[in-house]
Amino acid sequence: MTSFMARPVLPLGRRVMGSSRAMLNTASYGPPGFGGAGMTMPPGFNAKAAQQLRAPRVPEKTAQTQTQPQPRRAHARDDSLNTLGKTMPPGYKAQVAQLGVFEIPEQVTGSVGDRALGKALVRAWRQDGIIQIAMSEAQRRLMEDAMAASRRFFKKSPAEKAACVDSQSYAGYIASGEEVTDGIADYSEIFTITKDLDLAEPRVRAKWPCHGPCPWPDVDMKTPMVRYNDVLGAEGEKLLQLVEFGLDVTPGSLTRHTRDGWHHTRVLRFPPRNATNGRGKEGRGIGSHTDYGLFVISAQDDVGGLFIRRPKEDERFANWEKSAAGLREDDDGWVYVPPVDGVHTVILGDMMQYLTRNYLTATPHKVGLNTRERFAFAYFHEPSFQAVLQPLDGMQDKAASSSPSPATKTKVTDEIHYGTHFTRMFMRNYPDRVTTKRLLAEDRLSLLERPELRTMGAVPAVPAL
């Protein structure tokens, strides 16, 4: 701990050896059976290191010449790739990411330090496809409470869990083998939390697609999940503000789309690979895909299973036009993201790629099953369901003039209505769910063309109850 707390503070724009690119080292692991139970947190690992990284902000006065936009190392005592790689699921071969940890300020004010941090975040995403940010103490407590609630929920009987379904929203339970990625069942077991709207809510009464209640099993699940989601919502807004600085776009260019954002969360459990139900692909938790919104803030326990692909010039995709599911699933070039105590990882999604004209690209990722069951959260920070998105002003030039730049030749459509994009993604993932069947039977898709569904803040006119 002492060694990196004592790292010298560097002037703005200065690149250091500890940048995230320098820390993405190469190592291969692959023999089946490597990384068995009990090997995930070896003696001497400083599990509290990342938690303690959230140091006080540099005062504005000194930030003129001294900022800390570079990520810091998350491991103080045992940061060897051998240690990090030991949690990799058996049977996989990948590089092991050894990422730094960024500290996000309590408030984003537009200070010199905020601007430098925004640029560092954008740079790290373009290089590594993923960033890590330190949890605050409050976030950590809420995450642990939510994780405990998740474990309690998934221990319930299959019948109790299966009852948590709603026919109007896609919130609720998804059994292992029910989710489909690129035509193949995944072994993930999920509870999805979407905007919780009761039956009297005007948008629900007007039968807007995907709008409805969240079928909570009980308050024991609901309370910690809502609190954790709320704190991640605030974190997501700060990240968006920082990205605006990082991209040199007008403040508000991104956050104007997230008023009443369609934020939602996937509470995830992955069975151990020796305890699957035969409905999916051996060893696979979730197949290769990109996420559909702005970005995902995720947390994982100490088991390990997440793999990503770094942005690459020769890997072009636009998931909103043609599904990127299954992309390079069995190819080389995957990077394993090992569990690090006290951090959230942030993965970019399709809408960030679209808005920035491929300057920032959605990060392909997949999940492998490990030797122990694994729990994780994926919080999706999203535009409003009503948002109509167009690429940000000035991004064409930036993408064209940068080198290397991934996917610069990908076609960019004129505009994207986020609600339509979300609805299509969920119908594709859950073709047999009651929600999809009702949506089609009641022709709710046609409502997506109505002006009130494409105007921020508009509410439907519905008769009084």
Chain positions contacting Fe ion, by CB under 5 A:
291
Q: How far apart are CA 364 and CA 334, in angstroms?
A: 9
- Provide the terminal-to-terminal Cα distance of the chain, rounded to the nearest Å: 61
Shortest reach from residue 366's CB to Fe ion, in Å? 8
Would you say 75 or 266 has its CB closer to Fe ion?
266
Would you say 178 or 291 has its CB closer to Fe ion?
291
CB burial of residue 393 (10 Å; 0-12, 13-18, 19+): exposed
Shortest reach from residue 377's CB to Fe ion, in Å? 12
Shortest reach from residue 193's CB to Fe ion, in Å? 15
Place of tokens 């936009």: 69
Q: How far apart are CA 134 and CA 100, in angstroms?
A: 10
Q: How far apart are CA 250 and CA 303, in angstroms?
A: 41
Would you say 83 or 429 has its CB closer to Fe ion?
429
∠ CA 324-329-334, nearest 5°, is 110
Shortest reach from residue 121's CB to Fe ion, in Å? 20
Q: How far apart are CA 160 and CA 178, in angstroms?
A: 16
Shortest reach from residue 458's CB to Fe ion, in Å? 30
Shortest reach from residue 246's CB to Fe ion, in Å? 22
Would you say 330 or 443 has its CB closer to Fe ion?
330
Tokens representing 380 are: 């999706």
Would you say 245 or 379 has its CB closer to Fe ion?
379
Shortest reach from residue 319's CB to Fe ion, in Å? 11
Shortest reach from residue 323's CB to Fe ion, in Å? 13
- Nearest residue to 139 (alpha-carbon basis) of 13, 7, 230, 271: 230
Q: Which amino acid is at 318?
A: A
Would you say 70 or 150 has its CB closer to Fe ion?
150
Shortest reach from residue 289's CB to Fe ion, in Å? 6
Shortest reach from residue 448's CB to Fe ion, in Å? 23
Would you say 95 or 188 has its CB closer to Fe ion?
188
- Nearest residue to 169 (alpha-carbon basis) of 201, 229, 215, 206: 215
Nearest residue to Fe ion by CB is 291
Would you say 108 or 351 has its CB closer to Fe ion?
351
3-state secondary structure (DSSP) of residue 118: helix
Would you say 245 or 295 has its CB closer to Fe ion?
295
Q: How far apart are CA 422 and CA 438, in angstroms?
A: 16
Longest dimension (CA), the chain: 65
Helices then strands (H, E): number in the chain?
Answer: 13, 18
∠ CA 421-424-428, nearest 5°, is 140
387 Cβ contact list (under 8 Å, min separation 6): 257, 258, 417, 418, 419, 456
Would you say 67 or 288 has its CB closer to Fe ion?
288
Q: Which amino acid is at 89?
A: P
Whether cis (ω within 30° of 0) applies to the bond prior to 404 is yes
